[in-house]
Structure 1
Amino acid sequence: MNKPSLLLALGLSLGVSPAPVLAQSGHAGHHPAPATATDASHSAHEGQDDPHQGHHMHHGHGTHGAAHRARGSDPRFPPLTDAERAAAFPPLAAQHMHGDRTHYRFFAERLEWQDADEGSALYWDFQGWVGGDINRLWMRSEGERVAGHTEKAELQLFWGHAIGPWWESVAGIRQDFKPGSPQTWAALGVQGMPLYGLETQLTAYLGEGGQTGFRAKFEYDVLLTNRLILQPLAEFNLHGRNDPARATGAGFSDAELGLRLRYEITPLLAPYIGVSRHRAYGNTADYLRAAGEDKGDTRLVAGIRFWF
């Protein structure tokens, strides 16, 4: 008979519980004695004091629970006071999403030199607004000067009203100064960022003499680094009637596609370089060919973008 069996038989014959006997054997570490009812009751009571104690005891960190329970009574761990809580969590000022204050912004989206076929060109695309979070007065201006002569210039004024988290409706007027004689349009549209930063402008126009037009403009910023940003751009123009005086044909009139790479010295100031492709279509292209001009050209551009 082996030694554990002999000790077990001896214990039973003497009327002694086998647990102490086994605990004294060399194999007690592999066969721990079962807990008594008193031990179970004490463990359950400790579990009520510290809901995480069972987890800590399971991993051999039972002293953590004892230190945690002694926090309020041990002078080394005094309980928190109301003054300490107030200092740790000061009251925050109320934030008003839609206040009555008036703000403004001005954006020089594009102020650039272009290498045009007719000579050096200066192009601008400005936007700005003044107002609050819901209602704003908007301004847009685009234009181009080639070899010292203004080829295109327009100014638009809109009243903007927020119609959702990402959309704003606009209504106002557009004044064309060039090409041709000045022309005034009524304008109605929407603008916003519907898809992850895709800046979108969709505007319909009603001009003098029943002329109609529609412009769609899209811009998107691709962050190559925190400062280096690639911006694709697309603009499309459609008209309802032929206008030979302004070399504008009915239907899909013209489109511009561009790609610009800018470096943000600061968020307010960024020089850039890029390429721009403009092309006329349909009757608009026919008018340009009749005047001895190309229906499209590709230009290298360099400029600066800023806002305040």
Structure 2
Amino acid sequence: MKYMIALMLAGTATPAFAQDHGHSMPMQPADPQDAEEAAEEEGSAEDTSPTSSAMPMDHSQMDHGSMDRPGVVEDQTTGGEMDHSAMGHEAMAMDIPSGPPLASAGSGPARAADAIWGVEAMRESREQLRDEQGGQKYFWFQGDRVEYRAREGSDGYLFDLQGYYGGDLDKFWFKSEGEGSFDEDIESVEVQALYSRAIAPFFDFQAGLRQDFAPMDRTYAVIGIQGLAPYLFEVDAAAFLSDKGDLTARIEAELDQRITQRLVIQPRVEASFSAQDVPELGIGAGLDTVEAGLRVRYHFVREFAPYVGIDQEWRIGQSADYARAEGEDPSVTNYVVGIRFWF
């Protein structure tokens, strides 16, 4: 039996350590007599060194099946298998918090920077922050319609200007409209000076004065609203009480329909009403006038856009009778060319 062990050891002997799957094989003597002596020494005495206790590996007893399964490796410490696919690495991703902040958040000193930069420097910085991030004032001016009107008879013109100065909540708002025909006296011109107060995210309440210069001087008290209605309709509605006791109202609505980022089609409707007849101004009680138009404009830049379009005016009821009495047509079609600008 000893000779068989010696022959086996001699057959597997190598001149240096052999590497097999990461395991070290000890160097064995090549001489059979030395192999026999080594076998006797191994059987008679216990050697605790890691290299001398190594035995030939029987690959037939190894479970190669686990090597073919992804995510499964042999545990070198226990001899078992480790399945990395079952370790749940997906659960290691941190969930984004969705609840309120912790109670400790913001619990530090309210003026901690004062200790570093000084009270005066931080006071100036905070005032600048309020001015630039919510408390600043803006100036805005727009020529909504500045146009030439080609029509039957004498061609005309129209301007519709407005703007404001103020903050997010309170503004001074001004408006001016006028129109007429070339080679004739201006038909109408008005200027409004209004206090505007935000009452909703997209609507302002407005109140102030309106002064007419043509066809005659007349002063009105104004109250109204202006803003962006659902579906992006821009709305401007106001009631006017004159110094003669005449009560009138006007509402305008327009909608920008974008064909491209620069090409816009804008339908627009305006209607005027009166609580009584005002013969000197050619205004009849009830629905006074209706104006509907369609304009197509192109934005070369956001602040400047020429346009072309068509606009139809109707005088209704008693107002139409006043127009006929003055030799005017109560229904007028205008072909318009103009510009829209703001800064």
Give 1:171 shift: 0.2
Q: Residues 46 and 211 from structure 1, CA distance in 2 versus in 1: closer, same or farther, beyond 3 angstroms?
A: same
Matched residues in 2 for 1:245 and 1:269: separation?
Answer: 39
Gaps of 5+ in 1: 1-19, 53-92
* Aligned partners of 1:114 and 1:122 also within 8 Å: yes
User: CA offset at residue 290 of structure 1?
Assistant: 1.5
- Mapping of residues 264-275 of structure 1, within 5 Å: 264-275=299-310
Map of 1:171 onto structure 2? 207
Runs of 4+ in 1 over 2 A off after TM superposition: 20-25, 32-36, 38-52, 93-98
Q: Which AA in structure 1 matches 2:163? A: G
Whose RCO is larger (CA < 8 A, sep 6+)?
1
CA distance in 1, matches of 2:148, 2:324: 25
- Note if 1:158 corresponds to 2:194: yes
1:215 aligns with 2:250: yes
Give the CA deviation at 1:232. 0.7
TM-score of the two chains, using structure 1 as the length reference? 0.71
Match of 1:14 in 2: none
Tell me the equivalent position of 2:150. Answer: 115
Q: State the Cα distance separating 1:151 from its structure 2 match.
A: 0.8
In structure 2, which of residues 296, 310, 315 is the aligned counterpart of residue 261 of structure 1? Answer: 296
State the Cα distance separating 1:197 from its structure 2 match: 2.4
Identity in percent: 33
Q: State whether residues 137 and 157 of structure 1, in contact with CA within 8 Å, keep that contact through their aligned partners in structure 2.
A: yes
Q: For residue 328 of structure 2, what is the amino acid of its counterpart?
A: E
CA distance in 1, matches of 2:214, 2:152: 19
Distance 1:174 1:261 in 2: 30
Take 1:110 and 1:46, find their aligned partners in 2: how far apart are those partners? Answer: 69
Distance apart, 1:289 and its partner CA: 1.2
Pick the structure with greater CA Rg: 2
- 1-structure distance, mates of 2:260, 2:90: 52
Provide closer, same or farther for how the CA distance between residues 143 and 46 of structure 1 changes in structure 2, counting only shifts above 3 A. Answer: same
Per-residue deviation, 1:94: 6.8
Residue 237 of structure 2 corresponds to 202
Aligned partner of 2:200: which letter? Answer: G
Is the contact made by 1:115 and 1:300 (CA closer than 8 Å) also made in structure 2?
yes
Using the alignment, how far apart are the partners of 2:153 and 2:85 within structure 1? Answer: 91
| Equivalent of residue 297 in structure 1, options 316, 322, 332 | 332
Q: Secondary structure at the match of 2:280?
A: helix
Give the conservation status (yes or no) of the 8 Å contact 1:23–1:33: no
Alpha-carbon deviations, 1:37-68, whole Å to 9, x = none?
x656674996479837xxxxxxxxxxxxxxxx
Q: Secondary structure at the match of 2:319?
A: helix
Q: Does 1:187 align with 2:222?
A: yes
SS in 2 for 1:284: helix
Aligned position for 2:315: 280
1:51-103 alpha-carbon deviations (Å, 9 max, x no partner) = 37xxxxxxxxxxxxxxxxxxxxxxxxxxxxxxxxxxxxxxxx9786531x221
CA distance in 2, matches of 1:154, 1:298: 23
1:232 aligns with 2:267: yes
Unmatched 5+ stretches in structure 2: 1-59, 94-127
Query: Which one-letter code corresponds to 1:292 in the other structure?
Result: G
Work out whether residues 272 and 303 of structure 1, in 8 Å CA contact, stay in contact via their aligned partners in 2. yes
- Cα deviation, residue 147, structure 1: 2.0
Of 241, 251, 258, 2:276 maps to 241
Number of residue pairs matched by the alignment = 247
Matched residues in 2 for 1:252 and 1:153: separation? 21
8 Å CA contact 2:195, 2:208 repeated in 1:
yes
What secondary structure sits across from 2:322 in the alignment? Answer: helix
Change (3 A) 1:182 1:94: closer
User: What's 1:129 paired with?
Assistant: 164
Q: Within the alignment, does 1:51 sit opposite 2:87 as a pair?
A: no
Question: 3-state DSSP class of the match of 1:119?
Answer: coil
- SS of residue matched to 1:266: coil
TM-score by length of 2: 0.65
Structure 1 residue matching 2:244: 3-state secondary structure: helix
Kept in 2: contact 1:118–1:146 (CA 8 A): no
Are 1:215 and 1:238, in contact at CA under 8 Å, matched by a contact in 2? yes
Q: For the residues of structure 2 that align with 1:204 and 1:188, how far apart are their CA atoms?
A: 6
Q: Alpha-carbon deviations, 1:9-40, whole Å to 9, x = none?
A: xxxxxxxxxxx779569xx969x99999x656
Kindly state the Cα deviation for residue 261 of structure 1 after the two structures are TM-superposed.
0.5
Give me the CA root mean square deviation.
Answer: 3.2
